[in-house]
Structure 1
Amino acid sequence: MRLDLFLKITRLIKRRPLAKEAAEAGCITRNGQPAKAGDDIKAGDRLVVDLANRHVEVEVLAEPPKQLRKDDVDSYIRLLNAYNPNSENRQ
């Protein structure tokens, strides 16, 4: 599954064009390497989404279906780290 589609389906980024722009700007890494919107995402990959208003690190557990209920997202990604870089409280 393409990176931009994966980010949209798993709700890490709201819209696919925003995911593409973030990837082109170098804000997304896959396994420590800069990612492109068309990169193939598979189980075991680690993604870091570093945007102006949030920083999210996830591990891909499985490829999700084309449509995914919000309640089922945790079956496909594991949240490793998430925080707001503009805030002093990091979780």
Structure 2
Amino acid sequence: MRLDKYLKVSRIIKRRTVAKDLADDSRVLINDKLAKPSSEVKVGDVVEIRFEHRHIKIEVSFLSDKILRSNPPMYELIEDKRIEKAVD
């Protein structure tokens, strides 16, 4: 499954275009390698996303093309760090 679609379907990011923009800005890593929006995501991959004030790291645990309540969790949260902005 494409990275941008996975981030949207798993509800980590609300819109696919936002997921695409993050990947285009080199703020998404898959298994410690820079990822493009079209990068393939597989079960077991570790995805790191660097938001402006927060960095999260997840492990992909399930893939599905559709958002269904009956689906198991699509990821397991490994790390969630808040980033403080330096004030001068």
Q: TM-score range by the shorter chain?
A: 0.7 to 0.9
Does the 8 Å contact 2:10/2:67 carry over to 1?
no
What one-letter code is carried by the residue in structure 2 that aligns with 1:60? Answer: V
Q: 1:85 maps to which residue?
A: 83
| TM-score with structure 1 setting the length | 0.83
Name the SS for the 1:75 alignment partner.
Answer: coil
More helix per residue: 1
Listed as ranges, the gaps of 5+ residues in structure 2 are none
How many positions carry a matched residue from both structures?
85
Question: What is the root-mean-square deviation in Å for CA atoms of aligned residues?
Answer: 1.8
| TM-score with structure 2 setting the length | 0.86
- 4+ long deviations beyond 4 Å: none
Identical positions, percent: 33
Listed as ranges, the gaps of 5+ residues in structure 1 are none
What does residue range 62-73 of structure 1 map to in structure 2 within 5 Å? 62-69=62-69, 72=71
